[in-house]
Amino acid sequence: MLQANGRERSAPRHRILIVDDEELIVQAMRKYFAGLGYDVDSAFELEEAQALLGNYRYDLVIADLRLTGVGGVEGLQIVSDVRQRWANARVILLSAFGTPEIERESYQRGCDAFLHKPKAMMEIAHVAVNLLENG
Amino acid sequence: MKEHSALDALLAPGGIRPRYQPLYALTNGDPHLFAFECLSRGPQGTNFERAPVLFEYVRLKRQEAMVDRLCIATALEQLPPMPPETKVCVNVHASTLARDSGFIDFLSRANEKAGLHPARIIVDVVQHAPSHDGDGFALAVTRLRNLGVAIALDDIGVGASNFKMMLDVGPDYMKVDRCIVNGCHGDAKRRAVIESLVQLASRLHSEVVAEGVETDDDLVVVQSLGVKIVQGFLLAHPLEGKLAACSSSASSAA
């Protein structure tokens, strides 16, 4: 297993959930994180993500803030769902529309990192791996 | 953005793929085929290939009734040939029985279309909501009894299963969840739970079905505790229709 920096990783495989309504983004992130040696699941909508969260334990969830049309903030619900289940799981929210108020609320709900789109995959991976490996 | 929701994909033709898992009776010597449970898998290559994810999603979308109907219709349409005495279990959410007033008529028509006598059907009530005290649920149970089908309670021992449901339904079968059964040969607590459920079932004129039997040791133990019907990977995985047909003909030839 390789880390983002290319070094070997011998720790147990972490399980990641990626949630985004953009199919191409999901595919790209799945491929990238699977290539780093993580077990990756993905979901396109809130209820699909919640069904996965109800059946599997994830070490990291990367979710888009908006999963439906204009004004959606489903990502906040995902942060709450993760935090209610696991205190030490990590959550990253991605958003192209995040206001300071929403960002603040995401942290209040237990989000670990709020990233503003667009972000290069390497940048997202750097934050993700850092959260997983170093807490 | 994805053009269609996952629910659209489930409801599209071929979105639900039936599987059939045998249940075996332990009476009269070796296990022999007792029933097929109709199971469902979602579209290939999606999260809904995994049944727990599929049905959790359906419940979150509050579409249990629509999807229960679709799963049953699909399973009965594609039912493999089987010996005439073999029973057929179909899963139904308790919430569907409570809220879908047309469900019993639908089930009756689906049975008839499949050429199944109601006495061969076991309606397996899936308990996921905390309570179904409403009149709709009680009426549905009465109508199922009048129809002549048997009733099983699923997931005994986990989730929302409870004693009141046993009193309300008076089940013919009590299906003990695999998390209670699996590993019982090495766990006195699990054995105690199963033994007490066998005694309770006997007092309620019901029969325990042990789900999740995956080892010879567990099979021997549940049999010694008085369980007479078993299901699990040790005996058979959920099968596609063609394979289930082979399995039933092999079983009846044995």
Chain B residues with CB-CB distance to A48 below 8 A = 6, 47, 53, 57
Which residue ranges make up each domain of chain B?
A: 6-170+236-249
Q: What is the pLDDT of residue A68?
A: 82
Residues 6 or more apart whose CB falls under 8 angstroms from that of A116 comprise A94, A95, A96, A98
Distance CA(A91)–CA(A106), nearest Å, equals: 10
Chain B residues with CB-CB distance to A22 below 8 A = 1-2
Residues 6 or more apart whose CB falls under 8 angstroms from that of B137 comprise B94, B97, B98, B168
Cross-chain residue pair B50–A21, CB shorter than 8 Å: no
Domains parsed from chain A with CATH numbers: 15-134 (3.40.50.2300)
Q: Flag whether pLDDT at A56 surpasses 70.
A: yes
Chain A residues with CB-CB distance to B6 below 8 A = 44-45, 48
Confidence of residue A72 (pLDDT cuts 50, 70, 90): confident
Asked if the C-beta of B158 comes within 8 angstroms of chain A's C-beta atoms, the answer is no
Taking the CB of residue B1, how many other CB atoms lie within 10 A of it?
11
pLDDT over 70, % of chain A:
89
CB nearest A47 (choices: B1, B2, B61): B61
Interval A98-125: pLDDT, tens = 789 999 999 999 999 999 988 888 899 9
Beta strands in chain A (DSSP E): 15-19, 39-43, 60-64, 90-95, 113-116
Contact, A109 vs A84, CB < 8 A?
no
Mean pLDDT rounded to a whole number for chain B? 92
Distance CA(B36)–CA(B244), nearest Å, equals: 8
Asked if the C-beta of A39 comes within 8 angstroms of chain B's C-beta atoms, the answer is no
Stretches in chain B below the pLDDT threshold 50: 253-254
Q: Which residue has the tokens 């850092």?
A: A130
SS3 B158: coil
ipTM of the complex: 0.83
Q: Which residue has the tokens 């076991």?
A: B122
Asked if the C-beta of A105 comes within 8 angstroms of chain B's C-beta atoms, the answer is no
Q: What is the pLDDT of residue B228?
A: 96
Domain at B6-170+236-249, CATH class: alpha beta
Interval A8-37: pLDDT, tens = 555 568 999 999 999 999 999 999 999 999
Q: Flag whether pLDDT at A7 surpasses 60.
A: no
Q: What is the pLDDT of residue A5?
A: 54
Interval B109-155: pLDDT, tens = 999 999 999 999 999 999 887 656 678 999 999 999 999 999 999 99
